[in-house]
Chain A
Amino acid sequence: MLAYRQKSKSLILLCILSLLILGGIRPALAHGYIIRSIPEDRAILQYSPTRLQYWFSEALEARFTSLEVRDQNGTTVATGGVDRDNNALLSARLPRNLPDSVYIVDMRVAFSSDGHVIAQTRTFVVGQAVGDVAAGELNSQVNGLEVIWRVLVISSTMLLFGTFVIYQAILIPAWGNTAYHAGLLPSRVMRRLSLIILIALIISFIGNVVAILQQTMSFFDTGLEQVISQNLWSVTRVGTRFGDLWNGRMLLLGLVSLLFALSRRWNEEHPKTVRPFWIANVWVMALVIGTLSAGSHATGSLTLIWVAIFNDWLHALAVGAWVGGLGALVLIIPTALAPYKDDERRLALLAVLRRYSRLAAACLVIVIATGLYSAVNWIYSPPDITNTDFGRALLLKLLLVGGLVFMGTMHHMAVRPERYQRWQQLTKRFSRFCSSLRLEALLALGTLAAVGLLSATPVPIPYFIQDSIPAPSATQTLDNLSVNLTITPGGTGTNTYDLAIARGGLSLNDATIRLQMVNPERDQRSKWVEVENASEGLYVGVGDEINRTGKWWTLVDVTSVEGSIKRFAFVWDVTDTATIQSSQPPRIQHIVGLMMVLAALGYVVYPSAKRIYRRLDLNPVNVTILIATLVATILLSAVGFIVIQNAQNQFESTLNPLPQIVNSVLPDEASLIIGQKLYQQYCTDWQNINLNGFIERLPRTRDEQIFATTRDGGADVPACNKILSEMQRWDLVNYIRTFER
Chain B
Amino acid sequence: MNKDFLYSRSNNEHTKIKLKNDITIGEDFVIIAGPCSVESYEQVLTIAKSVKKSGAHILRGGAFKPRTSPYSFQGLGLEGLKILYEVSRLVKLPTVTEVLDPRDVSWVSEFVDILQVGARNMQNFSLLTEIGKTQKPVILKRGMYSTLQEWLNSAEYILKEGNPNVILCERGIRTFETYTRNTLDLSIVSAVKELTHLPIIVDPSHATGRPSLIGPMSLASVFSGADGIMVEVHHDPKNALSDKDQALLPEEFDNLVKQINKTVNFYYNLKNEG
Decide if A and B are genuine partners: no
Name A's B-contacting residues (CB within 8 A): none
